Structure 1
């Protein structure tokens, strides 16, 4: 028998010398018998059949022995029996060799209990994370970039109104249901991440559900696997339904942009839009008129009937203006009883005609419905190109013209002259 004691005594893994014919243990090092809870001499009374729980009976051992002879070294994963009755997960690498005309198998058994436990923990941890992400979101997706195949989680399908066996698992199922107005931007963000120009994919957009309606989603993802050349092969992400939050956002934005009483754009929002319209008219060399309207004797309404009646009048006249004006005209509340109107692509003559219609609408209005006597307004109008195409210039001249309309008797419109 080879004298291997000194050579293998301090090896950390268990080393066994085995008789290929009988599977008996001929020799073992210290790590081998200590791992099993035996003394050395106790192990020598065992065989592979008695120590290895996954090798049962001589026929199976003979088949394994034949494989070892023909495919040395041979790796086998199994379970060794511990003296206490427990078991140890082992990875055994066996080599066939001859010594003094005798055959031997030299097996090196590594205790992989910790590794197996760690692998199971990782699997369990991975499942727990996947479950947590799935439950914390409204859906998860996983995309095989090379072939376009996409896994859509059941929660994602439910969010969009589909059953568990519906939704073709392909990237086009997603892309074709992104709102047409959002699609180019979303695809651009995704491609920039895929090509390394963004650290992650993060987008808010509208996604069509089974009924043809759109829901707002917050979609986040990241490439998690690449090939040997560094090309992305797999990406994973999660989707959150943010429709309610979006509608609340839009409502808040509307409140911030609109006058609370009349629901017209407020002065800040209206002026922003008006400046854009003036700049657009100047760039396109199109005519534009700007008007300031001041309700006549409005203070007497508040004095006689109170501010609630004054509010009723403001709501009434706002509705009257909107019904009379063209769809392209912009009206906003400037403050108090004053309003500003922008007439895009409108000449002075056309503005005169619109002004006349507005005065007629006030004359024919059913003022008795809100319990006040018929009201009138004074309006000042300034126009481009008669005046410089600058919002501040136009509104200053329109304000001066409105003042003149009141000075000249009210219930009339005055156009600002070039001088």
Structure 2
């Protein structure tokens, strides 16, 4: 008969040992699962093309920033954590006041979801950010106010919007404002001039004998003429003047804050620039002239259309009087 060794555990200790072993195995399993979750979380943060960030409002210290910061800003995350001003210093100067003011609004509203501003990355490239931020509502009284956010690079979206706007407002051939956009802008300038009591002038310009150009040299050469006329017209105008192609060979301009004498000087400059143009087709050189009609805002005018009608009539009078001239009305 076998004798029990004095050091053998009593039957009553086996359940305790088993429970201890099971607890250890469970703990090891939990550690493994936590490690897997941490690895998964890190992988997600690396793959997400948006910057997750956290800021201590009182100290303005960035407490956390995700890996996307380095891809978008082209700067070290460690340096940002050491010096939070790096983000602020990257914001475009024209957008800085708005970016700071809109960030502060989160203290009152709890969330700000429509912040869009520009930054300059480490390569000097301009980028647009859409930055949503939220205040930590779970903080205990007396604890630091933490603002968390997510910033996305929306540069491609902004470029697409700008291109769509350009296509919607620009005459494709001459790169001038198209008729609709020109008159939308002209109406705004008209209302502004009326409200502020400022002068405003309206110019109509039509290419003389343009049909002959198309018939004699072909439509491609006619398109070339239109492009050169538009280039000369824009170059002769002042910085804030409006210029657009409103018909086949018709162009128009609006001169905000321009007295009648000043407007006539601008129209004469346009006339001279166009007269200097020289064209050639199959060895045959030819020039172009334009007829212009000019008018200015009066107390009787109730819309920009009244200026347009008066300038248009003056332009056709210039045609009747022999073309290549300016008629004022």
TM-score for the superposition, normalised by structure 1: 0.67
Equivalence for 1:318 = 230
Work out which of the two has the higher radius of gyration on C-alpha atoms and give 1 or 2: 1
2:159 is the counterpart of 1:247? yes
**Residue by residue, what CA displacement relative to the aligned partner does 1:353-381 show, whole Å, maximum 9, x if unpaired?**
22222222233322338955222111111
2:327 is the counterpart of 1:414? yes
Equivalence for 2:126 = 214
CA 395–313 in structure 1, closer or farther in 2 if over 3 Å, else same: same
**Residue by residue, what CA displacement relative to the aligned partner does 1:42-78 show, whole Å, maximum 9, x if unpaired?**
3x24597xx28xxxxxxxxxxxxxxxxxxxxxxxxxx
- Asked if the contact 2:116–2:130 (Cα under 8 Å) also holds between the matched residues in 1, the reply is yes
Q: Deviation of residue 216 (structure 1)?
A: 1.5
CA 361–45 in structure 1, closer or farther in 2 if over 3 Å, else same: closer
1:51-66 matches, cutoff 5 A = 51=17
Q: 2:246 aligns with which of 306, 318, 334?
A: 334
1:70-219 matches, cutoff 5 A = 80-81=20-21, 87-89=22-24, 113=26, 121=33, 124-125=36-37, 128-129=40-41, 131-150=43-62, 151-198=64-111, 200-219=112-131
Equivalence for 1:381 = 294
* Aligned-partner Cα distance in 1 for 2:313–2:15: 111
2:183 is the counterpart of 1:271? yes
Pick the structure with more helix per residue: 2
- Asked if the contact 2:106–2:133 (Cα under 8 Å) also holds between the matched residues in 1, the reply is no
* Aligned-partner Cα distance in 1 for 2:213–2:252: 21
Say which SS state the counterpart of residue 309 (structure 2) adopts.
Answer: helix
- Asked if the contact 1:137–1:238 (Cα under 8 Å) also holds between the matched residues in 2, the reply is no
* Aligned-partner Cα distance in 2 for 1:196–1:122: 35
Say which SS state the counterpart of residue 80 (structure 1) adopts.
Answer: helix
**Residue by residue, what CA displacement relative to the aligned partner does 1:282-306 show, whole Å, maximum 9, x if unpaired?**
2222211101111111112222222
Q: 1:392 aligns with which of 289, 305, 327?
A: 305
* Aligned-partner Cα distance in 2 for 1:337–1:277: 24
Say which SS state the counterpart of residue 335 (structure 1) adopts.
Answer: coil
CA 362–180 in structure 1, closer or farther in 2 if over 3 Å, else same: closer
**Structure with larger RCO (C-alpha < 8 A, sep 6+):** 2
* Aligned-partner Cα distance in 1 for 2:39–2:148: 15
1:37-56 matches, cutoff 5 A = 42=11, 44-45=12-13, 51=17
Q: Deviation of residue 263 (structure 1)?
A: 0.6
* Aligned-partner Cα distance in 2 for 1:369–1:319: 20
Equivalence for 2:316 = 403
Equivalence for 1:300 = 212
Number of residues of Structure 1 aligned to a counterpart in Structure 2: 320
- Asked if the contact 1:190–1:201 (Cα under 8 Å) also holds between the matched residues in 2, the reply is no
Name structure 1 gaps, 5 residues minimum: 1-24, 26-40, 53-78, 82-86, 91-112
* Aligned-partner Cα distance in 2 for 1:386–1:297: 35
TM-score for the superposition, normalised by structure 2: 0.83
**Residue by residue, what CA displacement relative to the aligned partner does 1:296-325 show, whole Å, maximum 9, x if unpaired?**
111122222222111111001111212222
Say which SS state the counterpart of residue 292 (structure 1) adopts.
Answer: strand
Runs of 4 or more consecutive aligned structure 1 residues displaced over 4 Å after TM superposition: 45-48, 115-124, 369-372
Q: Deviation of residue 174 (structure 1)?
A: 2.2
* Aligned-partner Cα distance in 1 for 2:151–2:297: 50
2:290 is the counterpart of 1:357? no
**Residue by residue, what CA displacement relative to the aligned partner does 1:118-171 show, whole Å, maximum 9, x if unpaired?**
787567446534531441214332223343221233431343222354235454
* Aligned-partner Cα distance in 1 for 2:296–2:43: 65
Name structure 2 gaps, 5 residues minimum: 1-8
* Aligned-partner Cα distance in 2 for 1:203–1:134: 24
